[in-house]
Amino acid sequence: MTGIPLVFVFILSIIAMILLISKWKIHPFLAIMLISAILGLLGGIPLISSVGEGGKKIMGLPEVIGAGFSSTFSSIGIVIIFGAMIGTFLEVTGAALKLADMVIKLVGPHRPELAIELMGWVVSIPVFCDSGFVVLNPIRKALVKRTGASSVAMTVCLSAGLYASHVFIPPTPGPIAAANTLGIGNQFLLVMLFGAICSIPALITSYFYAKHIGQKEQARDEADSDSIEKTYEELVAEYGQLPNGFMSLAPIIVPILLMALSNIATLAHWKGLGAELCIFFGTPIMALAVGVVLGVYLVLQQKMADKLYKMVDDTLKVSGPILFVTAAGSVLGKVIASTSLVSFITANANILQSIGILFPFVLSALLKTAQGSSTVALTTTAGIMAPLLPALGLASPISSVLVVMAIGAGAMTVSHANDSYFWVVTNFGQMTPNQGYRTQTVVTLIEGISSMALIFVLSLFLH
């Protein structure tokens, strides 16, 4: 099946998946795997592998499913485990509570949602949003206990802040790749400037939506304000003496700095052993491994060595379900990418050309929603747009930068079940998949549209 019928089948598959999970209470792992298999069969993926023209291997459905599943473990699996482990160390030692106190002293006790959103926005400039959420989640949870803020509102704000810079501001790989493809790789600072500006509407609108949805939804780990406040005070008393600020911050800030330094080394084309070490320790897995080592040192410093085995064991039990549901989402994305859906959208992109600066936004949003990855949507759309810029009157440096921004806005519209970030946010935020659609999916839609509105206005004055 190809063309328009496949598009309809894709839409019906997503609706069926949502109904299976939310209405009929089928476990997300089973629902996503089932829909992936059905969509793969209807989408024309062969039952078994074969060799096509020119000796090119064509993967069969079982191989496609296996590749999608394993990609999670090779890319973000260890990151999730290490990040969750750091979170456990910070929680058990009281370091997360210390960090919450530091944040409260910095921004005041009445704006925790804004604090965590801005924290996410800054962190995700050098760090992938998935990794950033896992790393910052302990602070989010501690701030909920410390301030009595809505856990859902805090989750949405953290997710939205991370996402805004992830799609707009280099040195995150997606915007860099898009800028290079469109021939403005030498306008790095200009892309950063416009990325920061265009992320502002996303931050503002998502903040107010988070406050709104936080009053309507309640996460599994949430309680009323009085019990939260009491629990916080009791926890502080139980620890006796909280760790110092530097050691509490080190397991989080050191991995972030290592990842940022790796990006700098790559962009600046550093050479030699020093550059190799920067890039090595700056990969998310190695950076978070350093964070784990610092977390273990923190545990030993707090004289909790006897609890270390149980901490690690409990973390692995919690991480397992998150990993498998995330892997199922990757399977769905891989199956969709293996059908002709993406190539059909790409081949018929000329239908959308008449809408100008909205064209890259719509195309990127279609690709994002179809296959799940914001980075893939950014890079694929940029590749399609590159030869079309002169025809659309968008060939000047400023116009090309705005095209990158429009692609970025589309690349966040929307995050749903085929996006690994959806499952990271939903599971670490202690929400059901149904709540994930009402929070993560809706807030990414709001972010994308609000940012695109500003980009459209800017395009009217800047050429």
Q: What is the mean pLDDT of residues 370-390?
A: 79
What pLDDT sits at residue 435? 94
CA-based R_g, the chain, Å: 22
CA dist 181 and 169 (Å) reads 16
CB atoms within 10 A of CB 145: 23
Q: Is the pLDDT of residue 82 over 80?
A: yes
Query: Is 333 within 8 Å of 369 (Cβ atoms)?
Result: no
What is the pTM (predicted TM-score) of this model? Answer: 0.74
Total count of domains within the chain:
1
Q: Is the pLDDT of residue 114 over 70?
A: yes
Question: Has residue 9 been placed in a domain?
Answer: yes
Question: Has residue 51 been placed in a domain?
Answer: no
Under 8 Å CB-to-CB from 144, ≥6 apart: which residues? Answer: 112, 150, 151, 154, 221, 222, 228
| Region of poorest pLDDT, from 107-111, 270-274, 413-417 | 107-111
| Region of poorest pLDDT, from 167-181, 232-246, 260-274 | 232-246
Q: What is the mean pLDDT of residues 155-172?
A: 90
CA dist 41 and 409 (Å) reads 32
- What does the block give as tokens for 136? 């910052």
Q: Is the pLDDT of residue 226 over 60?
A: no
Question: Has residue 314 been placed in a domain?
Answer: yes
Q: Is the pLDDT of residue 318 over 70?
A: yes
Helix (H) or strand (E) holding 57: strand 57-58
By residue range, what is the domain housing residue 450? 4-46+60-461
Question: Has residue 52 been placed in a domain?
Answer: no
CA dist 234 and 94 (Å) reads 12
Query: Is 442 within 8 Å of 30 (Cβ atoms)?
Result: no
Instruction: State the pLDDT confidence band at 126, using cuts at 50, 70 and 90.
Output: low
- What does the block give as tokens for 446? 């709001």
Question: Has residue 54 been placed in a domain?
Answer: no
- Give burial (CB, 10 Å; 0-12/13-18/19+) of 196: middle
Is the pLDDT higher at 57 or at 423?
423
Question: Has residue 181 been placed in a domain?
Answer: yes
Separation in Å, CA 310 to CA 85, 316, 421: 11, 10, 28
Question: Has residue 242 been placed in a domain?
Answer: yes
Question: Has residue 372 been placed in a domain?
Answer: yes
